[in-house]
Chain A
Amino acid sequence: MSNSAILLVGSPRDPTFGHTVAALQRQRLDQDILDLDRFCQTGSIDGSLDDPTSIIVSDSGASVHLASYRSCYARFVDLPSGEPADNESAWGRYRMLQLAISALNMLVVNRPGAGDSNDSKPYQTALLQHHGFHVPQSCSTNLPDAARSFIRSCREGAIYKSNSGERSIVQGVTEEDLGRLPLLADCPVLFQERIWGDDIRIHVVRDRCHGVRIRSSAVDYRYDESGTATEQAFAIPPELAARCVSVTAAFGLEFSGIDLIRDDRDGKFFCLEVNPMPGYHGYDLTLDHAISRSLGELLANG
Chain B
Amino acid sequence: MNDRDRRYVDAELRSSLRMLWYGASFPVIGQPPPGSPPGVFDLGLESRVHLRRLGFPVLNDRIGRLASVRGALAGSPSGNVRVTWADGSPSQWLSELSPRDNSHPQRLTVEDDLVAATVMDCRATLVVLHVDDDLLVIRLDDNSVPAVAPDSAEARAVSAIACQVIAGVGTRTCAIFFGQQGGAWKIARVSLPIPSWLEPLAGDWLFPRLLRVFTERRHIASPIGPSR
Q: Which residues of A contact B (CB under 8 A)?
A: 44-50, 55, 81, 88-89, 91-93, 95-96, 99-100, 102-103, 113-117, 119-127, 129-131, 133-140, 142, 150, 162-166, 186-189, 193, 250-252, 268, 270
Which residues of B, 1-56, contact A by the 8 Å Cβ criterion? 3, 7-9, 11-16, 18-19, 22-25, 34-35, 37-40, 45-46, 48-50, 52-53
B85, closest chain A residue (CB)? A92
B114 at the interface (CB under 8 A from A): yes
Those of B89-103 within 8 Å (CB) of chain A? none
Q: Are A50 and B60 in contact (CB under 8 A)?
A: yes
Closest CB in chain A relative to B54 CB, distance in Å: 11
Flag whether B227 is at the interface (Cβ < 8 A).
yes
Rank and list the top 4 A-B pairs by shortest CB-CB distance, nearest first: A92-B86, A123-B23, A46-B64, A164-B15
Among A129, A162, A164, contact of B225 (Cβ-Cβ < 8 Å): A129
The contact of A116 among B39, B88, B114, by CB within 8 Å, is B39
> Is the Cβ of B12 less than 8 Å from the Cβ of A93?
no
B61 touches A49 (CB 8 A): yes
Residue numbers in B under 8 Å from A81 (CB-CB): 3
By a beta-carbon cutoff of 8 Å, the part of chain B in contact with chain A is: 3, 7-9, 11-16, 18-19, 22-25, 34-35, 37-40, 45-46, 48-50, 52-53, 58, 60-65, 68, 85-88, 112-114, 116, 223-228
CB within 8 A of A188: which of B13, B45, B86, B112?
A: B13
Docked CA distance A129–B112 (Å): 46
Instruction: Give the complex CA separation of A142 and B62 in angstroms.
Output: 43
Interchain CB contact under 8 A, A123 and B64: no
By a CB distance below 8 angstroms, the chain B residues around A102 are 46, 49-50, 53
A220 to B58, CA, bound (A): 45
Smallest CB–CB gap between A55 and chain B, Å? 8
Q: A99-B49, A127-B34, A129-B227 are in contact. Are A47 and B114 (CB under 8 A)?
A: no
State whether A45 and B23 are in contact (beta carbons under 8 Å apart), knowing that A134-B227, A135-B227 are contacts in the complex. no
> Which residues of chain A are within 8 angstroms of B15 by Cβ–Cβ distance?
119-123, 162-165
Complex CA distance for A100 and B38, rounded to whole angstroms: 19
From A186, which residue of chain B is reached at the shortest CB distance?
A: B9
> Could you tell me if A163 and B68 are in contact, using CB atoms closer than 8 angstroms?
no
Q: Is the CB of A127 within 8 A of B225?
A: no
With A113-B37, A116-B39, A163-B19 already in contact, the answer to whether A89 and B87 are too (CB < 8 A) is yes
Measured between beta carbons, the chain A residues less than 8 angstroms from B114 are 44-45, 92-93, 96
Closest beta carbon of chain B to A131's beta carbon, Å: 8
**Cβ of B50 and Cβ of A113 under 8 Å apart?**
yes
A49 to B181, CA, bound (A): 14
Minimum CB–CB distance from A43 to chain B (whole Å) comes to 9
In the complex with contacts A137-B224, A138-B224, A250-B35, A164-B63 CB distance below 8 A: no
* A116 and B37 contact, CB distance less than 8 A: yes
Q: Is the interface of A mostly helix, strand, loop or mixed?
A: mixed
| B-chain residues with CB within 8 Å of residue A103 when the two chains form the complex | 49, 52-53
Closest to A191 in B: B223
- Sample of 9 further A-B pairs with CB below 8 A, known A45-B63, A117-B35, A188-B12: A45-B114, A49-B60, A55-B63, A91-B87, A92-B85, A99-B63, A122-B15, A123-B22, A138-B224
B68 with A46: CB separation less than 8 A = yes
Closest Cβ of chain B to A272, distance in Å, is 12
A92 and B18 contact, CB distance less than 8 A: no
CA distance A17 to B206 in the complex (A): 50
Residues of A within 8 A of B25 (CB): 126
Cα-based distance from A96 to B116 in the complex (angstroms): 8
Contacts of B61 in A (CB 8 A): 48-50
Complexed CA–CA distance, A132 and B112 (Å) = 49
What chain B residues lie within 8 Å of A100 (beta carbons)? 63
On whether the beta carbons of B39 and A125 are closer than 8 Å, the reply is no
Q: CB-nearest residue of chain B relative to A168? A: B8
Q: What B residues does A120 contact at CB under 8 A?
A: 14-16, 18-19, 22-23, 38
Q: Determine the chain B residues whose CB is within 8 A of the CB of A165 once the complex forms.
A: 11, 15
A93 touches B86 (CB 8 A): yes
A137 B62 Cβ-Cβ under 8 A: no
Given A122-B16, A123-B18: A99 and B46 within 8 A (CB)?
Answer: yes
Residues of A with C-beta under 8 A to B7: 166
Query: Who on chain B is nearest to A188 by CB?
Result: B16
27 A-B residue pairs with CB within 8 Å: A46-B65, A47-B62, A48-B61, A49-B49, A49-B63, A50-B60, A89-B112, A92-B86, A93-B86, A99-B49, A99-B63, A113-B39, A113-B46, A119-B15, A121-B15, A122-B23, A123-B23, A129-B225, A129-B227, A135-B227, A137-B225, A162-B12, A163-B15, A164-B8, A164-B12, A252-B35, A270-B227
Rounded to whole angstroms, the CA-CA distance of A125 and B15 in the bound complex is 12
Q: Are A119 and B86 in contact (CB under 8 A)?
A: no
